[in-house]
Amino acid sequence: MSKAGNHFASTLKRATLLCCLVAPSAFATNILFIGNSFTFAAGTPIMNYRSATVTDLNKNNTGGVPALFKSFTVQAGLDYDVSLETNPGVGIDWHLKNALDKISQHGWDTVVLQSYSTLDANRPGDPATLVRSVKRMAEVLKEKNPRVDVRLMSTWSRADQTYERTGHWYGKPIDAMATDVRAGYDKAAAGSPIVKGVIPVGEAWGRAIRTGIADANPYDGIDAGKVNLWGSDNYHASVYGYYLEALTIFGSVTGRDPRSLGQGECSAADLGIAPAQAAALQNVAFEQLSAAGAAMVPSAPAKPVACSSLQ
């Protein structure tokens, strides 16, 4: 083959690789979120935020993080049909036992799975149940759509589990729980060839703390100029924490750079997140996804989206 032919083949190979990294998720037409209170954004106005823009399979009028994701995609010029199936305080094993009739209604293009915050409610840090339930859930989803893109969402370190004496991670650094949770999700992903990857939400929280955007310990007060990612129970997320969660999911699933949403992003304004804070959290999500090797394109919306049009 000539030099020109070799160059063309090499260029085509690189372009094909980029397409494969981005296209399967970037052009999905529907997405289902399966999880618990960490997905439906318990304890914040996000729980019922723009609930009319998503489909709650449980008909509880819930918006949650899926509604934030929907808002981001509209602003990015993407067309996603977003649904959620959530229940408080449960893992993926609960959804297998109690919600398959709802989950199996459609052949989903993309599914984000989020399980119990400590991996196992009775055995904190033990991923065995998660590994088994993710494998089975992924098989069920693939039966409905052989090309389904299944992703796992690895959650954050709970302050109550770290700073209170009764916590399983008491006395350890704030990143320890998120690291253990991520290891559990990695095992679950490795145990199922259907799962495409793990969304590093917990690690994004850790990055926000290490870079000085977020406070590390809500029990000793919130440092000036920093946000508190946890809610008042030091367990669930605050508006800032859920916003960072949604940004990380958005970048992972769509392949779009979260920074392309900009500091004037509509949902941040709705939720009282200052423009500079929105931009800082977008940057954290971008940096964490980049560190994980995610392929992202810095695309802007084809046409400017008026925030009022998202209602």
Within 136-194, strands assigned E span 149-154
* Residue 284 one-letter amino acid: V
In tens, the pLDDT along 228-276 reads 999 999 999 999 999 999 999 999 999 999 999 999 999 999 999 999 9
User: d(Cα 266, Cα 297) in Å, to the nearest integer?
Assistant: 20
- Residue 204 CA, distance from chain mean position: 10
Q: What is the pTM of this model?
A: 0.90
- Mean pLDDT value of segment 274-290: 97
Q: State whether residue 170 is helix, strand or coil.
A: coil
301 touches 75 (CB < 8 A): yes
pLDDT digits (tens, 9 = 90+) for 184-206: 999 999 999 999 999 999 999 99
Q: Give every strand in the sheet of 195-200, ordered side by side.
A: 55-56, 81-86, 30-35, 110-113, 149-154, 195-200
CATH architecture of 28-310: 3-Layer(aba) Sandwich (3.40)
Domain segments of the chain: what residues? 28-310
pLDDT band at 97 (very low <50, low <70, confident <90, very high): very high
